[in-house]
Chains A and B, each alone.
Chain A
Amino acid sequence: MPSRQRRLLVVGALTLPWLRPARAADVLHLYNWNNYISAATMARFEAGCGCRVKEDYYSDNEEMLAKLEAGAVGYDLLVPTGNAVESLIRRGALRPIDRSLLPHFANLKPAFTNLWFDPGNRYSVPYATSITLIGYNIEKMRALDLPTDSWALIFEPKHLAKIKGKVTVLNSQRELMAAAMKYLGHSVQSTDARQWEEAKRLILAAKPYWATFSNSTYIKDLAIGNIWVAHGYSNDMFRAREDAKAAHRPFTIGFATPKEGAVLAIDSFVLHKSGQNPRLAHRFIDFMLEGENAADVSNLIGAGNTNAAAMPFIRPEIASDPGIFPPPEILARLEMLRDFEPRLRRTLSRLWTEIKVR
């Protein structure tokens, strides 16, 4: 999942009116994560099809679902994460994919097709992946002799004592509790209330050492050096690393997937029922399935890639980064988040509130 920052800022940009009206036939309406398809890729598509792409942005699956639930229409394409794809399918909000219009579908890695949220890929075409992991200031970690390959770094008081006030964790009930559950050796899909209580206690013991819960500011804080350790998304860590490099900071940012396992997010293209232009939407998906175009999301945004044909086009230092392309033994320990039923959601929300207040 791409950066959730500017969560509210983008809203203003969305409301800018279009100056010249265009025929519905040659405009593709895309509702996407912000900063998830590079401008260069988009320009190539527009030049090739003689059409325009009008892009709206969200920074959170829930935000997108809420907007659609509230009646937003006219979007041809969405890019939801697995659990949101499942939600949209069960709600009957999606249009089936016509495989005959996607000659490049075979480019996809088999490991990312036919997944639980859409068996047989009837509605979704995977686009990119990210991992929720730990980003850190390499020099500080080395100087303080701290382990960077384990959730212990953000949960164990004996490590945290050395970096008190220099750590941020995600302000997300599902993500933070999932990290705690992984560290304790439980599944992130557990329905056992006692295991969630255990995760809560772990979090409460570590909380006094954390600076804050942050979903977006950690990118800047890491890149500036305000904080040394952050729990967050791999592509955000990529950006923090690039920002620190560009600003010639005297330190470097690294990121690694903890050995206990972590949360994997797979984002896919899906066709919304209200879209006016399914044919153009298919054309866009197929364009994005071509190796060279698919590679952009890894090269420019630091997301993992679901496309085998993209790999030769991906810069070698990115293709070999285990934080972006996890090796098989790590991949086996990653779990995707799935939706809970309303009762358990309320119980977890209660635990989360307690975590915030205590």
Chain B
Amino acid sequence: MTNAASPASAHSQSAKRPTLWSAGKAFQAKWLVTLPPTLFLLAFFLAPALIVVGASFREPGEFGGLAPLENLAGLSLEAYRFLLGDVIYLEIFARSFLVAAATTLICIVLAYPLAWLIAKSPAKRRDLLVLLVILPFASNFLVRIYAWIMILGPANLLYTPVAVIVGMVYVHLPFMILPLYTNLEKHDPALLEAAQDLGASAWTRFWRITIPLSLPGLFSGAVLVFIPVLGMFAVPELLGGTGDLLIGNLIKEQFLDNRDWPLGAALSIILTLLVLALAGLAAWAARRGFAGTEAVS
């Protein structure tokens, strides 16, 4: 962001050209502001992540944890070889991504009209509606899942893949509604009015204006739903049947039940890499999408 001076000034002659001195000041201020969160992330995100990477190359310890490491020759790719040489783990990854994708899609379908409705309500009522969306967070997550056990039991859906999807959608729906609402709320109604004046039908207005403008909201909502679903183990454990093992359960099992940290760490790393690749792909696709709709914004 330090090169903000040149392209911005090209737009308008009247804009005050920032001097080198003020740019330096801004640079300093930015660092001052971003230093604490950066340090926090380094200490509590990057360092643990690196520990997990390291653990994935070690041997499991007798009591859990890791076997003592005498020298670098003790590092091995054994855990990765074990996982990649076996089609069963691939199957679990595929199934987990499928469940995450289905959950995200259903969340979009359910959340979009709701978010749109909230954004279109009178300003006074909006806060109340948003409050209602986040109200479930006031009670414990597990209590709410237990409530679903009681609802799904008599419907003969408990312990089925459907129950897992229902639980996942239920838990993650607010994470789709909120970013969508924040986005939709900011849309300028004048754009829609202009389109209407120019003869666009309701559908065209929605499809050509509202949807493209809401893509950033959709994208952040999808990320907020898709990624946590991949790691969620409580929902399949409580609502799922005999076959509903997802990657989150498998990782949890390695650390807590099976005491095989290297295998759990390797699974986590593979999952992280896959998610990063997917997020990169999505970001790239989204950027291409925006490039085509820049004229509207």
Contacts and interface: CB of A to CB of B under 8 A. Distances in A.
Contacts of B86: 350
User: By CB atoms of chain B within 10 A, which of A87, A213, A348 has the most?
Assistant: A213
A143 to B, nearest CB: 21
Given A207-B242, A357-B88, A357-B91, A65 B63 contact: yes
Interface in A330-358: 339, 341-342, 345-346, 348-350, 352-354, 356-358
Interface string A74-112: 000000000000010011000000000000000000000
B242 A210 contact: yes
Contacts, number: 90
A346 B263 contact: yes
A193 B61 CA distance: 21
A304 B260 CA distance: 32
Interface stretch (B110-118, B123-131, B190-198, B251-259): B251-259
Nearest to B91: A357
B59 interface: yes
Given A171-B237, A212-B240, A213-B242, A90 B256 contact: no
A38 interface: no
Interface of A: 8-9, 12, 60, 62-63, 65-66, 69, 87, 90-91, 171-173, 207-208, 210-213, 217, 226, 339, 341-342, 345-346, 348-350, 352-354, 356-358
Given A66-B255, A357-B243, 20 more contacts: A8-B142, A9-B140, A62-B257, A62-B259, A65-B63, A66-B64, A69-B64, A90-B63, A207-B242, A212-B241, A342-B260, A345-B258, A346-B60, A346-B258, A346-B263, A349-B253, A349-B254, A349-B263, A356-B249, A357-B95
A217 B240 contact: no
A12 to B, nearest CB: 7
B65 interface: yes
Nearest to B153: A226
A342 B59 contact: yes
Contacts of B88: 350, 353-354, 357
Contacts of A346: 60, 82, 258, 260, 263
Interface string B37-66: 000000000000000000000011111110
Interface of B: 59-65, 67, 82, 86, 88-89, 91-92, 95, 140, 142-143, 149, 153, 158-159, 234, 237-238, 240-243, 245, 249-250, 253-260, 263
A173 B258 contact: yes
A342 B257 contact: no
B257 A172 contact: yes
Nearest to B65: A69
A12 B139 CA distance: 12
B238 A217 contact: yes
Tell me what chain A mostly uses at the interface: helix, strand, loop, or mixed: helix
Contacts of A9: 140, 142-143
Contact of B60 (A60, A91, A345): A345
Contacts of A8: 142, 234
A27 B286 CA distance: 59
A348 B258 CA distance: 9
A46 B86 CA distance: 56
B267 to A, nearest CB: 10
5 contacts: A62-B64, A63-B256, A173-B253, A208-B242, A342-B59
Closest 4 CB pairs between A and B? A356-B245, A212-B159, A342-B60, A349-B258
Contacts of A348: 258
B11 to A, nearest CB: 54
B149 A357 contact: no
Contact of B250 (A66, A69, A87, A353): A353
A316 B266 CA distance: 53
Contacts of B257: 60, 62, 172-173
Contacts of A341: 62
Given A342-B260, A349-B258, A69 B63 contact: yes
A182 B251 CA distance: 28
Contact of A212 (B91, B242, B254, B255): B242
Contacts of A353: 88-89, 92, 245, 250
Nearest to A212: B159
B258 A91 contact: no
Given A173-B257, A349-B253, A349-B254, A356 B243 contact: yes
B85 to A, nearest CB: 11
Contact of A342 (B62, B91, B159, B237): B62
